[in-house]
């Protein structure tokens, strides 16, 4: 399943700095919601890298868009703010997290946090990734914002020592901070025909749909708890 990552280590990151913006809901623009949307608006910030930014996809096909569409189709009055920046490392995310949160009109109800994949592709020390992820979780905890952590796993060609140290980051931090964990954001998508773009790194629109299908129940449950 992770074979495409071997070749991907030679691919440079493609950065496009996107400012946080509300997702364009398919439920709003393409089809009526399956269930009437009800309740106060719940704001979810999708904070991550190109997997959150919708790299290589058309407008309205990114993860924030699809997640918002699925939540609203389930009757949840959710607005998912796209705060993904292609090429971001965990260090870059750490630098912009507070600014992103401060730029919102009000404290969000939930943050999806997904960074570290570019750290792995650059073969940065896992200790650095852990320190940056810890700092972001500390900031979110300080602000009283619940978190869903979407994890990444190391490419197999990086060796068992790197994989051991890197792969432990997400489950251990999720347990420490009480965050909901989705262990591997590309699970069931990477290496599957039609689910990835030709670069082997980013999900296609169909892949994004599959990821959102897995994440939407986690988001709905987290919102119901808070």
Residues tagged active-site: 50, 199, 202
3-state secondary structure of 25: coil
Q: Please name the residue ranges forming H helices in 55-143.
A: 63-73, 90-102, 117-121, 126-142
Strand order in the sheet with 21-22: 21-22, 76-84, 38-48, 110-114, 147-150, 180-182
Pairing of strands 110-114, 38-48: parallel
Distance (Å, whole) CA 2 – CA 154: 9
d(CA 67, CA 152): 19
Q: Measured between alpha carbons, how far apart are the two ends of the chain, in Å?
A: 35
């Amino acid at each position: 399943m992770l074979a495409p990552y071997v070749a991907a280590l030679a691919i440079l990151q493609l950065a496009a700095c996107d400012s946080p913006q509300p997702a364009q809901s398919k439920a709003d623009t393409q089809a009526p919601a399956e269930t009437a949307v009800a309740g106060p608006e719940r704001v979810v910030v999708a904070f991550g890298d190109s997997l959150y930014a919708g790299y290589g996809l058309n407008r309205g096909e990114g993860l924030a868009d699809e997640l918002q569409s699925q939540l609203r189709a389930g009757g949840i009055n959710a607005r998912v703010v796209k705060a993904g920046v292609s090429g971001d490392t965990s260090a870059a995310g750490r630098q912009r997290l507070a600014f992103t949160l401060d730029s919102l009109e009000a404290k969000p109800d939930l943050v999806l946090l997904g960074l570290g994949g570019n750290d792995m592709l650059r073969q940065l020390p896992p200790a650095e990734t852990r320190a940056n992820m810890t700092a972001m979780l500390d900031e979110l905890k300080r602000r009283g914002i619940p978190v869903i952590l979407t994890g990444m796993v190391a490419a197999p060609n990086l060796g068992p020592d790197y994989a051991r140290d890197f792969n432990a980051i997400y489950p251990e931090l999720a347990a420490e901070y009480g965050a909901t964990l989705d262990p591997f954001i590309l699970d069931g998508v990477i290496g599957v025909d039609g689910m990835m773009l030709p670069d082997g790194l980013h999900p296609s629109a169909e892949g994004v749909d599959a990821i959102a299908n897995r994440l939407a129940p986690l988001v709905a449950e987290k919102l119901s708890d808070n």
